[in-house]
Structure 1
């Protein structure tokens, strides 16, 4: 892939580039405005159990992860939602048609778990399926048929009574005929509870190469909506659109859709793989966080917090990167019309964030021409270090390591 040699007139025109069927003219679903009122206008930040643990979850493990979220400083940095993913429930509903926590895995029950999280200053997230089964049930790795289709009102009321603050709602079906009605039904049921619950949907699981989350704008149906297939802890996966996608695969696929983001409505390029496995280099993990922040995307960590090393913690809690992600303008970055590895994002203080990605396997030099951006006299900060950057003749000249991202902030 061609890499940036200079940021000159290239960056004067920034556009969204069409990358898959229909994203240049999406259907805007769900009416207007935000899906669930009363929530913060900036992207949610938290932790989810799936990437590291899959179905291997239980009450003591979730509590240990929550404790580590606090003791590591991640909660103080903004990561407050603790999301219990698939496989927390019994295979069948109770006699009143309500979902139940698995008594072996979660002996204290989900309301007690929610109370524990709230006592730690955290927020409680839970998982449900939008069809008759959850993803694990459809895959045959967990028994039962306890999806929420036809039970939306009951399940939303149950979640609210447990103190749930975040619902991850997965499709996981090869049929897409009822997606809009089912996702909207749960949105309406959540609204009716009177509790402000982040509503996170994934319309793409099991949907093959044409992804509803990319084709349609779900911003008024859900607080955050998945736009790609599931992420893997790799830089590029080498798989097709119907398989797992690496970090850089997702960045390229997301480019046409970044401008759908706004206050209270976010595109979701999936959870963070920082600190998960060993396939991503340290530089690629930095790029992962930087580019999610440039997209104003939710930051949902997926690593084992109890074994997290200092390098992972420092990347995840970098204050400069988080400040870009949480910028109150919620104006997601645009990608250069001539170079897919140049991104700029407007910020609330009148400055800009500039990201230049080096997706290659060798160090590259990136001269950044601030004059071309109308920023010749701007003050420039390296977001990763917080240090001022030397500007010479309106340019910043720096080397970018393989897989890394230069991240600058101007004022």
Structure 2
């Protein structure tokens, strides 16, 4: 995904108001007659989100043509359609609620014809139904409506830059529970995302201290400045990619898969902090029932926010998919983990595993990206489980029985099968380690000069605890570094002594899987060879290779 695709998407906005995608957008709105008025409804408790936020967002159904009547219609449908009882909480007002107007004091004003009683009144209505309210603004001076067509005239000044304390305090006084802060103005102004969003987070903290009402922060720089590296310390969720669909076009599985891939930053995610691959396109025109199931399966295995974007009041067939309790339970699992790829025996036929709360429990997606149906083997060892496990078809709500070693399933082209697997934990799987230390050298498994290029050979170096020495042992028997983005890898799937041990994009293949053994060796699953400090070297810079397992201390390692 690139910025040009997103920009073209905004250019199509005016053509297709009927298309809806749930962009997790939260729109800031205000009354011209009641600026800053506290919401009069009973406060809805708002705490750090222990599980990924669920709800509905206005952008892809309405674009900028939103008003209080449209929001109330969707609120009523969320309640009547059973989505509220299934856990969908947030009603997020996106782009278009505000056209950049302020009063003499600098407070936001809105059109009273669109928002009778002001924004506090629409928040009161949302809260009266037991739901939470979300609002939207931009980090820059001018919001997205200034740069891209939105169905309304260009709106200069619709960003919060220069008014952070004032605007976030006003949102909190109106009663909003969540704010999405977009990046159109910030991007065009060339702002630094990390420092800008830190200032926004600090401002939200001051607003909360004043009103006692927390605002969850949703960061939306589209992954442009690697928010997974810094956003967990200042926000609840952050976008990792561009918009999921181009406005004016039908949803595409290619775009769903691209956003799913872009959000794979498992070490950044934990309870209260979530990678956001963008809103659901479930239920939009042009998506089949099978595509909806695959899309929901991928977001659930990711532990992603679930923000619907279709027209809830007119949808048909969507409720059962959106409310399937076992699917939602996977997404909302208390551990807050993100699923990771653990196998890809054939290109495009992949297995993803998510560790669930409770010993020996996994959610699994068998994903077929190819153009033809194919068999995918779900090996229990790849999931970090012992040889025998019970398998359940989640969408079919059917127990498939106890299996030995693996479960084989045929997956249609461009679809996924969602399973749960329960068994005994395999010792040593899923272990987070700070360092891998050579017994002979006393030095650490290291990537030279923090390099991230595929093919960079691993080496020994003085232990220092920096990110190029921090390794995670995954349930899929991988050693990952740099937040799970790179895996320890036998170069070119080599199986001969002397094969360089390098880092590479994690792909779940056997040359990236390693057994940690009681004798202190680390063996390549594909080669059967041992991780070895070449020529029994102990100096800084000694390269690591595969070698025939022997009795040398240069093949013994400690996981600290």
Residue 316 of structure 1 deviates from its aligned partner by: 1.1
2:388 aligns with one of 377, 396, 405: 377
Residue pair 1:271, 1:299 contacting (<8 A) in 2 also: yes
If the length of structure 1 is used for normalisation, what is the TM-score? 0.82
User: Taking structure 1 as reference, are residues 392 and 184 closer, same or farther at Cα in structure 2, changes over 3 Å only?
Assistant: closer
Q: What does residue 216 of structure 2 align with?
A: 198
Q: Distance in 1 between matches of 2:262 and 2:99?
A: 37
User: Taking structure 1 as reference, are residues 368 and 181 closer, same or farther at Cα in structure 2, changes over 3 Å only?
Assistant: closer
2:368 is the counterpart of 1:358: yes
User: Taking structure 1 as reference, are residues 297 and 183 closer, same or farther at Cα in structure 2, changes over 3 Å only?
Assistant: same
Computed over aligned residues only, the root mean square deviation of the Cα atoms, in angstroms, reads 2.2
1:152 aligns with one of 152, 157, 164: 164
1:401 aligns with one of 412, 423, 437: 412
Q: What does residue 99 of structure 1 align with?
A: 108
Q: What does residue 201 of structure 2 align with?
A: 187
Residue 372 of structure 1 deviates from its aligned partner by: 5.0
Residue pair 2:366, 2:378 contacting (<8 A) in 1 also: no
1:7-18 matches, within 5 Å, as none
Q: Distance in 1 between matches of 2:170 and 2:231?
A: 25
User: Taking structure 1 as reference, are residues 356 and 92 closer, same or farther at Cα in structure 2, changes over 3 Å only?
Assistant: same
User: Taking structure 1 as reference, are residues 49 and 336 closer, same or farther at Cα in structure 2, changes over 3 Å only?
Assistant: same
If the length of structure 2 is used for normalisation, what is the TM-score? 0.61
User: Taking structure 1 as reference, are residues 102 and 402 closer, same or farther at Cα in structure 2, changes over 3 Å only?
Assistant: farther
Please state whether the residue corresponding to 2:387 is helix, strand or coil.
coil
1:300 aligns with one of 288, 307, 310: 307
Q: Deviations over 1:170-223 (max 9, x none)?
A: 01133433322321122111111222211101113xxxxx82146743111221
1:178 aligns with one of 171, 192, 196: 192
Structure with larger RCO (C-alpha < 8 A, sep 6+) = 1
User: Taking structure 1 as reference, are residues 267 and 215 closer, same or farther at Cα in structure 2, changes over 3 Å only?
Assistant: closer
Q: What does residue 438 of structure 2 align with?
A: none
Q: What does residue 326 of structure 2 align with?
A: 320
Please state whether the residue corresponding to 1:259 is helix, strand or coil.
helix
Which one has the bigger strand percentage? 2
Residue pair 1:259, 1:334 contacting (<8 A) in 2 also: no
Q: Distance in 2 between matches of 1:392 and 1:225?
A: 39
Q: Distance in 2 between matches of 1:201 and 1:328?
A: 22
1:153-302 matches, within 5 Å, as 153-172=165-184, 173-194=187-208, 195-204=213-222, 211-213=224-226, 216-232=229-245, 233-236=250-253, 246-255=255-264, 257-278=265-286, 280-302=287-309
Residue 400 of structure 1 deviates from its aligned partner by: 1.8
Q: Distance in 2 between matches of 1:328 and 1:95?
A: 47
Q: Deviations over 1:138-175 (max 9, x none)?
A: 22543231210010100111001111001011011334
1:41-120 matches, within 5 Å, as 41-120=50-129
Please state whether the residue corresponding to 1:307 is helix, strand or coil.
coil
Residue 130 of structure 1 deviates from its aligned partner by: 0.6
2:378 is the counterpart of 1:368: yes
Q: Distance in 1 between matches of 2:256 and 2:188?
A: 24
Residue 393 of structure 1 deviates from its aligned partner by: 3.9
Residue 79 of structure 1 deviates from its aligned partner by: 0.7
Query: Which deviates more from structure 2 when the two are superposed, residues 264-273 or residues 330-339?
Result: 330-339
Residue 371 of structure 1 deviates from its aligned partner by: 5.0
User: Taking structure 1 as reference, are residues 174 and 165 closer, same or farther at Cα in structure 2, changes over 3 Å only?
Assistant: same
Residue pair 1:368, 1:397 contacting (<8 A) in 2 also: yes
Q: How many residues align?
A: 361
Residue pair 1:70, 1:76 contacting (<8 A) in 2 also: yes
Q: What does residue 42 of structure 2 align with?
A: none
Residue pair 2:388, 2:403 contacting (<8 A) in 1 also: no
1:311-350 matches, within 5 Å, as 312-336=318-342, 338=344, 341-350=350-359
Query: Which deviates more from structure 2 when the two are superposed, residues 322-331 or residues 213-222?
Result: 213-222
Residue pair 1:251, 1:291 contacting (<8 A) in 2 also: yes
Q: Distance in 2 between matches of 1:90 and 1:103?
A: 12
- Of the two, which has the highest radius of gyration? 2
Q: Deviations over 1:269-295 (max 9, x none)?
A: 1111111221x3322221111111111
User: Taking structure 1 as reference, are residues 377 and 125 closer, same or farther at Cα in structure 2, changes over 3 Å only?
Assistant: same
Q: Distance in 1 between matches of 2:382 and 2:53?
A: 34
User: Taking structure 1 as reference, are residues 102 and 386 closer, same or farther at Cα in structure 2, changes over 3 Å only?
Assistant: same
